[in-house]
Chains A and B, each alone.
Chain A
Amino acid sequence: MRGPLLLLGLLVAAALLGPLLLAWPYDAIDWNAIRAAPGSPGHPLGTDGVGRDLLARALVGTRVTLMVALAAAVTSLLIGVAWGATAGWIGGKTDEAMMRIVDALYALPFMFVVILLMVLFGRSILLVFLGIGAVEWLTMARIVRGQTLSLKQRGFVDAAEAAGQSGGAILIRHILPNVAGIALAYLMLTVPQVVMVESFLSFLGLGVQEPLTSLGILVKEGADEMVTSPHALILPGLLLVGLVVSLTLVGEALRRRFER
C-alpha cells in the first residue's frame, strides 16, 4: 500500500501547492506565447490555443477534480450512512421499504439524471457534486445496512439495551463507531468513481465552467488537438490515470484491512 499512498500524496501535494510555484496562473493569457510548444520560456509544458499555461491548468484541473470528488464522496457518505444505519437498525417493514427505494434508484440511468439536472438548472459546480453524491450513496447505504444488521446481533448491543440505553444512543455509541472503519474504506473507493464521473461530465461539456477547469475538460481539449499537440492530452491523461489508480489501490487496501 506504500507505493499507491506515496503517488496519491504526490498528486495531492502537486495539485495544492504546484500552481503557487509557477510563473503563470491557470487563467492568464500570455499573448506572446499562443499554442507554445513544451519547453518554451516560462511554460515548461507549453500553452493552449488561447495562450494559457498548460502545466498550471493541469494542476488546477487536478485540484478541482479532487475537490468535486471529495465533496461528492462525503455527501454520499453522509446520506448513505444515515439511510443504511436507520434501515438496518429499525429493521422489519421500514427496512424493506427503505431498501426497495435504494433498489429503485439503482435502476435509474443516473448519468441521464445528472445530465437532465444540468440542463434544467444550468451548469454549476455545486450541482455537479450534489448530483453525483446523491447517486453514489446507494452502495454506501447497502454496505452500512448490512454491517448494522450483523452488529445488531452482537452481545454488546444487548448488553447496552440491558444497561438502559435507548435505541438512538446504542446506534450512536455502539453501531456507528463500529461501522465507521468500513464506511471510510468504501469512501476511499467512491472517490475514484466520482473522479471518473466528473471527468466524463466535463468531457461532455456539462461539468465545471470556463475559465475554471478540470481534468475532464483538459482531456477533451487535448483530444481535440491530439494530432498537432499530443502533449496537451498526455499530461492530464496521466494525472487522471494516476489519481484513479492510486485512490483505488489505497481504498482496496483499507477495505481489506477492515473486512479482516
Chain B
Amino acid sequence: MSVWEVENLSVGFGARPVVEGLGYAIGAGECVALVGESGSGKSQSWLAPFGLSPGQANGSVRLLGHELVGQDEAALRRLRGAHVGFVFQQPLSALTPHLSIGAQLAEKLVAPDPARLEAMLAEVGIDRPAERLKQFPHQLSGGQRQRAMIAMAIAHAPELLVADEPTTALDASLRHDILLLLDRLRRERGMAVLLVSHDLASVARHADRVVVMRQGRMVESGAAGAIFQRPCADYTRDLVAATPRLDMPVPPLPDIGAALLEAGNIVVRFRRPGWRGGWIDAVKDVSLRICEGEAVALVGGSGSGKSTLARAIARLGPLEGGAVRWRGVVLPGRNAMKPGDRKGFQPVFQDPVDSLDPRWPAWKSVEEPLLRLRPELDTMMRREKVAAALGEVGLDAELAERRPGALSGGQAQRVALARALVSDPDLLILDEATSALDVSVQARIVALLQDIQRRRRLALLFISHDLALVRQLCHRVVVLDRGEVVEAGDTRSLIESPRHPVTRRLVEASQ
C-alpha cells in the first residue's frame, strides 16, 4: 500500500483552478519530487488537501488509506499530527523566536527527557547537541536551523515527510548536505518523502521519481534519472537545459583590456551590536582587479563577506581601510563621491522588486541614473535612452508603464538591469542578481547578460554561490571565506582542480 496517493486532484480558489488532474503515489521509503516554477501549483497541491490553505481540493488524496479530501478540520489535524512531518523553506520564520530549540523540540514529545532530545539533534547531524538545546533560533546558522526543523518534523516518527523547498534559503554547499540528510533519514526510517522544489537538478539526484508541474498541470513524471537525462516533454527539456551544469559548453568570453578597477587591501569592519561592543571583521585585506571586458566572479558561502566587499567597492557601504582606483584614479570616500565618479560602474541587486521604488513606473526607475550621471542629455534624449535600454533587456514598452508590484520577478530584474545599463557604464556589479529567480528565468537573464557582455564589452563583477553559473560568464574566480581570499584563478582550472576545501565544497555542490 502506498503511504501517499494522489488521484485526479484539483485545487481551486473560487472558480480559478491552480491544480488540475494531478496524480502520483509515494510508497514507504520512497522519495518523490514535485518540481515546477513559482506559481505552478506545486505547493498548493499538498497544502490544500491537508487543510493548510484556503484552496478547495477535489478528487482523491489518501494518506495510509485515509481519504483527506472532504474531511473536517479536526480529522485532518489528527491525521497530520499522527502521520506527517513538515519542513518549510524559511527555518527562521518556521521556528518560534522566543523559545529555545530544546523547548520547541520537547513540544513534540509526550515525555521529553534531555538525553532523548540530544539524541534527536545528533541524529540530524547537529554538533554539540547539549549546548544547542539551550540556544534560540537566531543563534543557529541557516543550515543548523533547517536541521533542527527536520528533527522536529521527524520527532513523532511520521510515515510521510513533506519538505517544501527545504534548501532554497540555504547556500549551495549547505543545500547538498541537507538533501543528503533527508536521504539518510528516509533510508534508516523507511519514511516516504514528498520533496517540493523549483530546482530540478538538485532534487533529481535525491528523488526516486519526479513529477514536473506547470500551470497546475502535470507535464511529465517518471524515474528521476530518466527525466533528467532524457526529458520527453518540451517544458522539462527547457527546464533541464536552463539548469547550469559544470559540464556544459562555455561560450567564448570577450577579450580583456586595460585595468578598470583596482581595489587594494580592502578592510571592512562592523561594530558588534550590544553593550560589550567590539568589532567584526567582515572583509580582511582583500585586493581585486578588474580589467575592461573582464568578468570576475566573487564566490563564497553566506557570511563570507562577498556582498560587503562588493558594496564597499561600489561605494555603497562602509570602507575601513584600503583604496579603490578607477582607471588609475583613487575614488573618494562614500560621502564625497560626485556623480561623475559613479558614472563608470552600476550595481544590480539580488531582490529585483526591492530594488525598484514601489511608487514609480518602471521607465522612471530606468531614467533615474541619466539625471545625474548624464546631465548633458535633454528630456527627449533621455526618453530615447530609456526606450533603448528597455529594448536591450527585452522588455515590452507596455510593461514600462507598470509599477514593480505589477511585474514578475524576472521582469523586475530586467528593469533593474536596464537601469544599470542606461548610463552606459563600463562595469556592472551584480550581487546575486539571479539567485532570487526561478531556474528558467535565471537562464534567460544569464543569456541576456552574456549577450550584453559580448556586445558592449562590459566588465562584470559577478557575485554568486553557484559555480556552474559562474563558469558560463566569468574569466576569473575569486573565492572568499570569512572575509579573506582563499583561492583565486582562472575559472576553468579553479573548477577542474580546486585546492582549498571551501572551493572543493562549492564545486561539489554545483555538480
What is A's interface to B at a CB cutoff of 8 Å?
154-156, 158-165, 174, 177-178
Interface centre among A156, A162, A177 (most CB of B within 10 A): A162
Closest A-B pairs by Cβ, 4 of them: A155-B355, A164-B339, A164-B372, A163-B369
Q: Is the CB of B359 within 8 A of A163?
A: no
CB within 8 Å of A: which B413-431 residues: 416, 419, 423
Q: Is the CB of B373 within 8 A of A159?
A: no
With both chains docked as a complex, state the minimum distance between the C-beta of B320 and any C-beta of chain A, in angstroms.
16
With both chains docked as a complex, state the minimum distance between the C-beta of A81 and any C-beta of chain B, in angstroms.
16
The answer to whether B157 has its CB under 8 Å from any CB of chain A is: no
CB within 8 Å of A: which B466-487 residues: none
Query: Residue of A at shortest CB range from B346?
Result: A162
- Within 8 Å CB of B356, what residues of A? 155-156, 159
The answer to whether B347 has its CB under 8 Å from any CB of chain A is: yes
Q: Is the CB of B342 within 8 A of A163?
A: yes
List 9 other contacts, CB 8 Å, given A159-B349, A163-B346, A163-B423. Answer: A155-B355, A156-B355, A156-B358, A158-B347, A160-B368, A162-B342, A162-B345, A162-B369, A164-B369
State the main secondary structure of chain A at its contact with B: helix
CB within 8 Å of A: which B69-107 residues: none
With both chains docked as a complex, state the minimum distance between the C-beta of B46 and any C-beta of chain A, in angstroms.
27
Query: Residue of B at shortest CB range from A174?
Result: B357
Q: What are 20 inter-chain pairs, A to B, with CB distance below 8 A? A: A155-B349, A156-B357, A156-B365, A158-B316, A158-B355, A159-B349, A159-B355, A159-B416, A160-B357, A162-B346, A162-B347, A163-B371, A163-B423, A164-B338, A164-B339, A164-B342, A164-B369, A164-B371, A164-B373, A165-B372
Q: Is the CB of B339 within 8 A of A178?
A: no
> Contacts A163-B368, A163-B372 hold; do A155 and B316 have CB atoms under 8 A apart?
no
- Within 8 Å CB of B338, what residues of A? 164
Residue count of chain B within 8 Å CB distance of chain A: 30
Q: Mark B335-358, 1 if CB is under 8 A from A, else 0.
A: 000111011011101110011111
How far, in angstroms, from A154 to B357 measured CA to CA in the complex?
Answer: 9
> Contacts A161-B316, A164-B339 hold; do A154 and B372 have CB atoms under 8 A apart?
no
How far, in angstroms, from A155 to B316 measured CA to CA in the complex?
Answer: 11
The answer to whether B331 has its CB under 8 Å from any CB of chain A is: no
- Within 8 Å CB of A159, what residues of B? 347, 349, 355-356, 365, 368, 416, 419
Query: Residue of A at shortest CB range from B347?
Result: A162
Query: Residue of B at shortest CB range from A175?
Result: B357
- Within 8 Å CB of A164, what residues of B? 338-340, 342-343, 369, 371-373
- Within 8 Å CB of A158, what residues of B? 311, 316, 347, 349, 355
Q: Is the CB of B358 within 8 A of A178?
A: yes
> Contacts A156-B365, A159-B416, A159-B419 hold; do A178 and B346 have CB atoms under 8 A apart?
no
The answer to whether B502 has its CB under 8 Å from any CB of chain A is: no
- Within 8 Å CB of B423, what residues of A? 163
